[in-house]
Chains A and B, each alone.
Chain A
Amino acid sequence: NAGVTQTPKFQVLKTGQSMTLQCAQDMNHNSMYWYRQDPGMGLRLIYYSASEGTTDKGEVPNGYNVSRLNKREFSLRLESAAPSQTSVYFCASKEIRDRWIFGPGTRLTVL
């Protein structure tokens, strides 16, 4: 039981490049989330998926897209990376009893 896994752990991009951050959970949770964490700020919600096949915008969705591939996997895509997207990205999943499990994070730098 690995919980929530994220790949890659680190990534450096040039402005304008694209990439996909991967997230998977093995706890059979319905809800999955993507957050970003910036210095001096609390975590902010980018997108979430309440169940397989559904996705919705969070607080800061601009510049991102998501795919809920199946119940286990929820990916975050940056189509044209910008320096403002330099951040640490956390995926999380939530069980019915409102218990949240966070992944280890992906540290992204956009030059």
Chain B
Amino acid sequence: KNQVEQSPQSLIILEGKNCTLQCNYTVSPFSNLRWYKQDTGRGPVSLTIMTFSENTKSNGRYTATLDADTKQSSLHITASQLSDSASYICVVSSTYGGSQGNLIFGKGTKLSVKP
């Protein structure tokens, strides 16, 4: 069964600190992996998208890595800010599904950045 598992479920860090969120997936056939940021009461917003051949991708203070062999990804946030407080969702897209899109969503990691 296609699954996306994220850890930890929640995380509290102090402003200015770094953190790393984890994502493990069992999705086949694999197309790409995305990280989304979802602020409370808002829809998910794309941070990064990586295909099979990409190991790392950055978007400002956000850096995502992908190890397609071990089927693991991480999202590293550098020098956290209060505005980073949100849920971070790992989403894997399968090539199977056509127009359905076939996005498999993780449950998300809730990050709280404290002053």
Contacts and interface: CB of A to CB of B under 8 A. Distances in A.
A63 to B, nearest CB: 19
A100 B93 CA distance: 11
Nearest to A92: B43
A89 to B, nearest CB: 10
A104 to B, nearest CB: 5
Given A41-B107, A98-B32, A105-B43, A56 B100 contact: yes
A15 B98 CA distance: 36
B83 interface: no
A107 B106 CA distance: 20
Contacts of A58: 100
Interface residues of B, number: 22
A interface, size bucket:
20 to 34
Nearest to A6: B43
Interface stretch (A43-51, A64-72, A74-82): A43-51
15 contacts: A31-B101, A42-B105, A43-B105, A45-B100, A48-B100, A56-B99, A56-B100, A58-B100, A98-B31, A98-B49, A100-B46, A100-B101, A102-B44, A104-B43, A105-B41
Interface of A: 4, 31, 33, 40-45, 48, 50-51, 56, 58, 90, 92, 94, 98-100, 102-105, 107
